[in-house]
């Protein structure tokens, strides 16, 4: 797993810029997030709702030049 994180690390600055840029202009609503409560511990986890997660995923795909990234690691 650490190899995957090592491979992603060079992309981090661009991804951070893209996501923070998105959050700067996007007005979030309660429906953008889902709260899950563990049945035993009652620990809460907040996640992106599917529509927002798709938007963020599309943004990151546009941000990364996958072809250049793959060539970099060959």
**Residue 18: its pLDDT value, please?**
93
**Residue 29: its pLDDT value, please?**
97
Question: Which helix (H) or strand (E) element contains residue 18?
Answer: helix 12-25
Count of alpha carbons within 13 Å of 63, Cβ hemisphere only? 19
Please, what is the average pLDDT of the chain? 89
The percent of residues above 70 in pLDDT, for the chain, comes to: 88
Does residue 4 register a pLDDT over 80? no
Give, as one character, the DSSP assignment of residue 11. Answer: G
CB-CB contact of 34 with 49 (8 Å): yes
**Residue 32: its pLDDT value, please?**
97
pLDDT in tens, 41-68: 999 999 999 999 999 999 988 888 777 7
Please tell me the total count of domains within the chain. Answer: 1
């Amino acid at each position: 797993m650490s190899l995957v994180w090592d491979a992603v690390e060079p992309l981090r600055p661009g991804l951070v810029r893209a996501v923070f840029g998105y959050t700067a202009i996007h007005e979030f609503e309660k429906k953008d997030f889902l709260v899950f409560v563990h049945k035993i511990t009652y620990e809460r986890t907040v996640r992106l709702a599917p529509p927002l997660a798709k938007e963020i995923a599309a943004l990151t795909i546009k941000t990364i030049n996958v072809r250049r990234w793959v060539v970099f690691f060959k």
